[in-house]
């Protein structure tokens, strides 16, 4: 089970979205897991991740309490992967996010060969996960399916908004912010790349995929569903 299970979209929409987690087991192998978690994320760097996640401290872009609204729009937008790795100081479920299958496969193979003794989870389409496992020479242990949304779905935000907000596993990217960013991109007030960084900072678990988000904003601007 993973908090990325309910990312909104059909299987084809995840061709640029691969999340690979490493998780210690509480009371089993967590006492010495911090160096292993750091090693896991270090292994990801050569494969050019688009984000790294530490649910305790956040991802490669983080919010700040010391900035005003105006200065926040103009701040440095460079992802800081080193801050994520160096900041891990307690057992947690860390993640590396990739925008292509080749990188995800290569990373998973390195992780499998390293045999860190941590639980590893691959979150993407079923087909994509199967192919990553096959490339790494490992057998899938289990699978989790998302059955979608039930109930009064007419009260949900539209699909463009849902695809953006559900990329934060803890629901910290608000629907109103996502809707505002879509409108700003359509109006030419912000580029997709700028709008993505505003949303990414609010993802407290660091699994927001800025590349997929940029593509979704481009599609919204071109009115592609």
Mean pLDDT lowest among 58-62, 93-97, 102-106: 58-62
Rounded Cα gap, residues 32 and 30, in angstroms: 6
Secondary structure, 3-state, 14-79: HCCCEEEEEECCCCCCCCCCHHHHHHHHHHHHHHCCCEEEECCCECCCCCCCCCCHHHHHCCCCCC
pLDDT at residue number 186: 94
pLDDT band at 69 (very low <50, low <70, confident <90, very high): low
DSSP, collapsed to helix, strand or coil, labels residue 101 as helix
Rounded Cα gap, residues 129 and 122, in angstroms: 6
pLDDT at residue number 204: 87
Mean pLDDT lowest among 55-64, 116-125, 181-190: 55-64
Which residues have a Cβ under 8 Å from the Cβ of 18 and sit 6 or more positions away? 97, 98, 99, 100, 101, 103, 104, 122, 123, 124, 128, 132
Query: What is the token pair recorded at 7?
Result: 């990312």
Up-side HSE of residue 153: CA atoms within 13 Å toward CB?
Answer: 6
Pairwise pLDDT comparison (65 vs 26), residue with the higher score:
26
Answer for the pair 94, 58: CB distance below 8 angstroms, yes or no.
no
- Average pLDDT over all residues of the chain: 91
Query: What is the token pair recorded at 20?
Result: 């690979």
Pairwise pLDDT comparison (132 vs 75), residue with the higher score:
132
Rounded Cα gap, residues 143 and 97, in angstroms: 19
Which residues have a Cβ under 8 Å from the Cβ of 10 and sit 6 or more positions away? none
- Write the pLDDT tens digit of every residue in 6-21: 899 988 999 999 999 9
Answer for the pair 3, 146: CB distance below 8 angstroms, yes or no.
no
pLDDT at residue number 1: 54
Side by side, the strands of the sheet bearing 51-53 are 51-53, 94-98, 18-23, 119-123
| Residue 224 clears pLDDT 70, i.e. is over it | no
Using a 10 angstrom Cβ sphere, with 0-12 exposed, 13-18 middle and 19 or more buried, the burial of residue 222 is exposed
- Write the pLDDT tens digit of every residue in 144-191: 888 888 888 888 999 999 999 999 988 899 999 999 999 999 999 999
pLDDT at residue number 72: 67
Mean pLDDT of 36-57: 96
Rounded Cα gap, residues 13 and 32, in angstroms: 37
């Amino acid at each position: 089970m993973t908090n990325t299970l309910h990312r909104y979209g059909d299987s084809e929409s995840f061709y640029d979205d691969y999340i690979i987690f490493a998780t210690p087991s509480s009371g089993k192998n967590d006492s010495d897991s911090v160096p292993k978690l750091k090693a896991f994320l270090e292994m990801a760097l050569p494969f050019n991740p688009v984000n790294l996640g530490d649910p305790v401290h956040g991802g490669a872009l983080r919010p700040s309490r010391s900035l005003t609204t105006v200065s926040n729009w103009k701040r440095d937008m460079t992802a800081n992967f080193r801050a994520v790795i160096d900041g891990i100081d307690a057992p947690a479920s860390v993640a590396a996010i990739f925008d292509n299958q080749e990188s995800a496969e290569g990373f998973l193979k390195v992780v499998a060969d390293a045999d860190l003794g941590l639980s590893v989870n691959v979150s993407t389409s079923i087909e994509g996960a199967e192919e990553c496992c096959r490339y790494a020479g490992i057998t899938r242990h289990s699978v989790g399916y998302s059955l979608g949304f039930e109930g009064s779905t007419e009260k949900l935000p539209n699909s463009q908004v849902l695809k953006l907000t559900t990329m934060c596993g803890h629901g910290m990217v608000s629907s109103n912010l996502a809707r505002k960013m879509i409108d700003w991109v359509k109006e030419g007030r912000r580029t997709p790349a700028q709008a993505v960084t505003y949303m990414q900072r609010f993802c407290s678990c660091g699994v927001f995929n800025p590349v997929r988000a940029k593509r979704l904003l481009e599609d919204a601007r071109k009115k592609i569903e």
